[in-house]
Amino acid sequence: MIAIRYFLAACFLLCCQQLAARQQDLYFENYTSLNGLSQNSGYSITQDHHGFIWMGTQEGLNRFDGYEFISYRKPFAGSASTSNQVDALLAGHSGRLWAGTQDGLFLLNPQSGQFETFSKFFRQPASTPDSVSILKLFEDHQLNTWILTRYNGLFKVDGNGHYQHYFSGEGQNDRLIDITADNHNRIWICDLNNLYWYDAVRDRFNLVPMNHSISKGMKFRTLCWFNNELWIGTAEHGILIYDPVTGLTHAFTPPLIEGTLHAVNCMMADSEQQLWIGTRNEGLYRYNPFTAQFTRCRYREDQPGSLRKDFVLSLFEDRQGIIWIGLSGGGVAKYDIYNSIFHTIRKNYRNNTQLNDNMLFSLYSNGDGQLFIGAQNGGVVKWNTNNNSFTSYKDISPSGVTHNTVYGIAPGKAGQLWLATWGGLCKLDLNAHPSNAFTPYSTGKDISKTWLYSVFRPSQGNTLLVSGMNGLYQFDPEMEKWTNWIDKDSMLLYNKPVVRCFYEDDRQRIWMGTEGMGLLLLDPANNSISSIDLPQLNTRNVRSLYQDRTGQLWIGSDNGLVQYDPQKKAVIKIWQTEDGLANNVVYGILQDQQQRLWLSTNNGLSCFDPEAKKFLNYDVSYGLQGTEFNTNCCYRDARGMMYFGGIEGLTWFHPGNVPADKFNPPPVITGFHVMNHPYQSDSSLQLQQHIRLQPNQNFFNIEFSSLNFSHTNRTVYAYKLSGVDADWVYCGNKRTANYTKLSPGDYTFEVRSANNQGNWNKAITRLQITILPEFWQTSWFLALLILLAIALTWWLLRRRIKQIRHEAALQQKISTTEMMALRAQMNPHFIFNCINSIDALIQSNDKYNATVYLNKFAKLIRNILDSSNQPAIPLSRDLNTLKLYIELEQLRNENKFTVSFNVPEDILQDDLKVPPLIIQPYVENAILHGLRNRPGNDGRLIISVSRKDDYLLYLIEDNGVGRSATKTNIRKENISYGMAMTRDRVKLFNKETDASVLITDLHEHDQPAGTRIEVRLKIQ
């Protein structure tokens, strides 16, 4: 074991020098109070079973969903705790979240969403863990929770809250430092100077004998099981390594290129078997035992992706492999491997030892590990990728400024390169001093061969193809002079193609991408240049070319990626942003060993899999130099390493090191607002499966997050609400859904997400939502309404039946009354007397009066018969009939009385209808029993009709002998029964209980002087 260890150490020493050249600083995203963190010291970090990241600070707790923080600045309010500093966090089994402070232990109650003391959570009397100062929290494989305290020793708590106490004695209870477990689930613990292991069988801790010649005087700070050994971080002397198999301890002293490793504050072994080491003031280290690479990360003012502080308080790895680093005063840093898969080289303006300029135009290598980089104003930089050294070549002559704008690079003789510059064609001598390495080949006063964009050396022949603003030319590098070149069809005589890229295919034909003339093809065999038709491309600018192993030509243009078949001379497809391409301007094309195409664009890099027809896009958040790259500025070396130049430097990577991001958790509901107010429930929102709302709470908004902390802003979502949304609503990276004016009922809200590589999660998060109806919309109320409707219908039917029966009876009574009235009007005595009177006139030969009498009698009978089949007749007609009757009575009684009618003309003209001869019985009674018995011929009968409110008022007044005299002078059988029938007719016509008839006896000098009768009929 010792030999192997020393062998590994020797390999480490040898590899460090090799890897130092390519070592890149890790890229960190930093979260501080400016981002919503409650305070900038991250003492503890964990992840709960939902996926939220919890961060303990000096001022409370913070829950992070990848987008925003929810701060609990006083999470333990209501308890005896006075401290908000959370030194320890643990996401234990059963979803329990433990939080340790300087004066107590708390657990999150998932039902209430509130933190409770240890004893309250487990429903126990107040106990010691409620008020101890917590240092560490740890859960073992048996789901026991170990509580390491500052002054009260160690507690082991089972799942029911029952605990055991260790190291409780004086001198032991205030020395404990850290706790961990090995790969055999054995518990290890250390105090300031000693190491212990837990004997589970005997339930006790055993002291580990150590080599005090090594550990003497060292103060232990942290423990970590790593690489089958126990690593012990010390306060001042770096790291000790204890081997439980041999019982030996040795110091770990890494060969640091820079910095020191003394004050180790925390350590963590990640899922990739790398060790992370946090120090007090020396930054963060990552140790890879497989490559023996030791990477240091520290604060650098000129690097936005560096740590914000060098004092590391805590380390944590989440379920997707992201490393979270708590810093003292620097907030919390996040290391995501997907932010570091692309490496960048930029100009260092303080110490310019790498690039001279960030605007890069050209890349070239002859395959020996040396990459030549052409820039806008920096000339050429040679980067030796083997030892990470840089050599700068700039023309510093007075006329050489334009030679430092290098658009193209081509090979020459050994140690020489040909450059297409803004000042013309130049030869670069790599063996000369960098300041004297440029030889220009301009043509004096002829400036047509300046402002060059590209230079290319075909595999056959001995010429250079050179192009710029003024067309395409040939140059003889052996003779070092320009040649007179006329193509077969003299196309160059009439056109000036500005070629930005050349590509030689497997048949030695040269494809040329131009600005303004599209794609051209040069066939050296017959010296012909032809134009290639690219229909529907809608641009004449071609910026990059590449032929894959199947012979298809891929063309980068200003309007997408063109897939072209040279054999069929046909465009197969134009791939654009709607197909997933990052941007339609394609600057560079390279192919990796998996036959994927890597494309540089105006919006980052795209990786295209032609077989799967799928794009994966990468932007600056992955570590690119910037979003915008430059025309044909790309190169792939023999090892498969790819290089792309842009406006902010150089991006390089190996496609095999770009991992596929398969982490894709289902989204969780993070917020629910009703009427713009947070929803109040009896349990935390993540446990809610069904939300019930009142009828007036039909405006709500739902917030959700996938809890994917890698490139969170590239996560996209889709949602729908059953009964409202017919299909999925694809909302991009928007994380809210709003619904208004929903009807009462049951709804199901569904949401799903796709990660940053466009992979949709098959799992769907659902939330049942019920909007309760108003009481009048409930089933019981509807049932009650139905019952009431049935009862009302039954009552109405019964009432209608009763009404019909009543109306039938009433009609029968009316008919009977009318017949009785008719019989009364057709009184046989009246008819007999009238006939006798007519006969007497005839016998007395008074033909005239007999004729008049007979005509009136006949007319009266006809009127009575006509009115008998009608319930009501016009008032004027009824009065005319009444006049005929009175006239006959006057003739029969020899004009013993006079009669007068007082009826306003407007009443006669109104269409007022009354029962036929309704007052005739009263008139008859006045004549027969009042006026006939009056001595003399001065009898008087007055009939008046007037309107009062909604009634028609009849007044019948006579000056006869009165009712008292009538009762004594007439016989009982002569009493008129017509008055009783008339009262019934009035009562029925008015639909009243008592008939509106009033009979008043008139007196004069205390003697009877007649009768007045008032009859009120309702106007209909």
In a domain, 401, yes or no: no
pLDDT tens-digit series, residues 363-419? 999 888 999 999 999 999 999 998 889 999 998 888 788 899 999 999 999 999 999
Find which of 29-43, 880-894, 921-935 is predicted with most confidence, using mean pLDDT: 29-43
Q: Are strands 897-902 and 939-948 parallel, antiparallel or unpaired?
A: parallel
The pLDDT value given to residue 853: 81
Whether residue 763 sits in one domain with residue 898: no
Is residue 712 over pLDDT 60?
yes
| Cβ atoms 179, 201 nearer than 8 A | no
Dihedral Cα 417, 422, 425, 430, nearest 10 deg:
-20
Whether residue 836 sits in one domain with residue 811: no
| Cβ atoms 806, 814 nearer than 8 A | no
pLDDT tens-digit series, residues 916-973? 888 888 888 888 888 888 888 889 999 999 998 888 999 999 998 887 766 655 444 4
Query: What percentage of the chain reaches a pLDDT higher than 70?
Result: 92
The pLDDT value given to residue 987: 84
Residue with tokens 């003031």: 281
DSSP summary character for residue 264:
E
Query: What percentage of the chain reaches a pLDDT higher than 90?
Result: 59
The pLDDT value given to residue 744: 92
Whether residue 848 sits in one domain with residue 810: no
Q: Which amino acid is at 582?
A: A
Whether residue 840 sits in one domain with residue 820: no
Whether residue 899 sits in one domain with residue 852: yes
Over range 631-646, report the average pLDDT. Answer: 95
Q: Give the whole-angstrom CA distance, residue 267 versus residue 312.
A: 10
Q: Give the whole-angstrom CA distance, residue 185 versus residue 183.
A: 5
The pLDDT value given to residue 353: 75
Phi, psi of 949 (to 5 degrees): 60, -125
Is residue 553 over pLDDT 60?
yes
Is residue 822 over pLDDT 60?
no
Is residue 439 over pLDDT 80?
yes
Is residue 757 over pLDDT 90?
no
Over range 724-744, report the average pLDDT. Answer: 94
In a domain, 767, yes or no: yes
Three-class SS of 776-811:
HHCHHHHHHHHHHHHHHHHHHHHHHHHHHHHHHHHH
Q: With bands split at pLDDT 50, 70 and 90, how would you rate the model's confidence at 976?
A: low
Is residue 19 over pLDDT 60?
no
- Looking at the structure of the chain, the number of domains it has is 3
Whether residue 751 sits in one domain with residue 717: yes
Over range 508-532, report the average pLDDT. Answer: 95
Last residue of a domain, one of 735, 751, 775: 775
Domain assignment of residue 917, given as a range: 825-1018
The pLDDT value given to residue 11: 41
CATH of the domain at 892: 3.30.565.10
Whether residue 997 sits in one domain with residue 924: yes
The residues near 897 (Cβ < 8 Å, ≥ 6 apart) are: 890, 927, 931, 934, 937, 938, 939, 940, 941, 958
In a domain, 930, yes or no: yes
Is residue 810 over pLDDT 70?
no
CA separation, residue 119 to residues 101, 105, 146, 162 (Å): 15, 9, 16, 10
Q: With bands split at pLDDT 50, 70 and 90, how would you rate the model's confidence at 681?
A: low
In a domain, 696, yes or no: yes
Q: Give the whole-angstrom CA distance, residue 512 versus residue 458.
A: 12
Over range 531-538, report the average pLDDT. Answer: 94
Q: With bands split at pLDDT 50, 70 and 90, how would you rate the model's confidence at 16?
A: very low
DSSP summary character for residue 974:
G
pLDDT tens-digit series, residues 450-481? 999 999 999 988 899 999 999 999 999 999 99
The pLDDT value given to residue 12: 36
| Cβ atoms 461, 524 nearer than 8 A | yes
Whether residue 709 sits in one domain with residue 757: yes
Q: Which residue has the higher pLDDT, 796 or 846?
A: 796
Question: What is the residue-averaged pLDDT of the chain?
Answer: 88
The enclosing H or E element of 491 equals helix 491-494
Closest CA to 321 of 335, 308, 333: 335
Over range 437-450, report the average pLDDT. Answer: 79
Whether residue 722 sits in one domain with residue 712: yes
pLDDT tens-digit series, residues 587-622? 999 999 999 999 999 999 999 999 999 999 999 888
The residues near 34 (Cβ < 8 Å, ≥ 6 apart) are: none
Q: With bands split at pLDDT 50, 70 and 90, how would you rate the model's confidence at 149?
A: very high
pLDDT tens-digit series, residues 77-103? 666 667 889 999 999 998 899 999 998
Q: On the CB side of 187, how many CA atoms lie within 13 Å of its CA?
A: 25
In a domain, 272, yes or no: no
Q: With bands split at pLDDT 50, 70 and 90, how would you rate the model's confidence at 829?
A: low
What is the reported pTM?
A: 0.73
The pLDDT value given to residue 79: 67
pLDDT tens-digit series, residues 620-634? 888 899 999 999 999
Is residue 819 over pLDDT 70?
no
Whether residue 835 sits in one domain with residue 946: yes
In a domain, 682, yes or no: yes
Over range 816-824, report the average pLDDT. Answer: 54
In a domain, 178, yes or no: no
Sequence-distant contacts of 756-760: CB under 8 A, at least 24 apart:
756/338, 756/661, 756/708, 756/710, 756/711, 756/714, 756/715, 757/616, 757/660, 757/661, 758/580, 758/614, 758/615, 758/616, 758/716, 759/661, 759/662, 759/664, 760/664, 760/718
CATH of the domain at 691: 2.60.40.10
Q: Give the whole-angstrom CA distance, residue 253 versus residue 9.
A: 10
| Cβ atoms 819, 916 nearer than 8 A | no
The residues near 854 (Cβ < 8 Å, ≥ 6 apart) are: 838
Whether residue 731 sits in one domain with residue 845: no
Whether residue 715 sits in one domain with residue 784: no
Which two tokens mark 573?
């497809």
Last residue of a domain, one of 759, 790, 824: 824
Closest CA to 49 of 99, 92, 105: 92
Q: Give the whole-angstrom CA distance, residue 494 versus residue 506.
A: 29
Three-class SS of 260-274:
CCCCEEEEEECCCCC
Q: On the CB side of 961, how many CA atoms lie within 13 Å of its CA?
A: 19
Is residue 9 over pLDDT 60?
no
Is residue 557 over pLDDT 60?
yes
Over range 887-895, report the average pLDDT. Answer: 82
In a domain, 959, yes or no: yes
